[in-house]
Amino acid sequence: MTHPSPNHGDRRGGARPSLIVIHYTGMEDGPSARARLCDPEAEVSAHWLIHEDGETEPLVPEDRRAWHAGAGAWQGQEDVNSRSIGIELVNPGDRPFAAAQMDALEALLPAIMARWQIGPEGVIGHSDMAPGRKIDPGPRFDWARLARQGLALHPENAGEDVALADSLTRIGYPEADPEARLAAFRLRFRPGATGPEEEADRRIAAAAATVFHPVG
């Protein structure tokens, strides 16, 4: 196994991975994405790159701090890079994820989760930890599919009609503009929903808040 990206460092403060952050590359193809993730001048990287045909490539050793998450937080904890494993899926952001790619992700996740004792509550999207700044893996990513296999959390039923802001904080979303937080929540739990906050947002968020337990 090779790890071709030089873009990594020590995990700060003795941190250990308690999150897995899923991204899309936002680039046209795998070779372009790989070149950027391995370019010292780009100063970005991820632990894993999954190509559209399912090829799964290690770029940074998992015990190292890859540079994939950037500014943001989850459950009140910043420096997500020090606390996470980053997975990049080759996708420009304007198309569904290939079946072979999703199959490969479903094969990779359990191994990472077992190595680092990360539960499904620790598998999040880039947009979850950076509302208003990032939108990947986007509305086409099938979180419910992962949840059915115990690889992420996605409530099947609605909960009570309670304050949305309280539920989003309990789930782990960082403080941000209310519209940005709502948009980030919808990308994962109500893809395609638009407009002002609705009762469905509050009920689904309330249900999610009951299953997202503190990580790390």
88 noted as active-site residue: yes
Partnered with residue 20 across adjacent β-strands are: 85, 123
Which residues, at least 6 apart from 213, have a Cβ–Cβ distance to it below 8 Å? 119, 121
**Please, is 6 exposed, middle or buried when counting C-beta atoms within 10 Å of its C-beta (0-12, 13-18, 19+)?**
exposed
Determine which one of 55, 57, 88, 199 is catalytic. 88
Q: Which sequence positions are flagged as catalytic?
A: 88
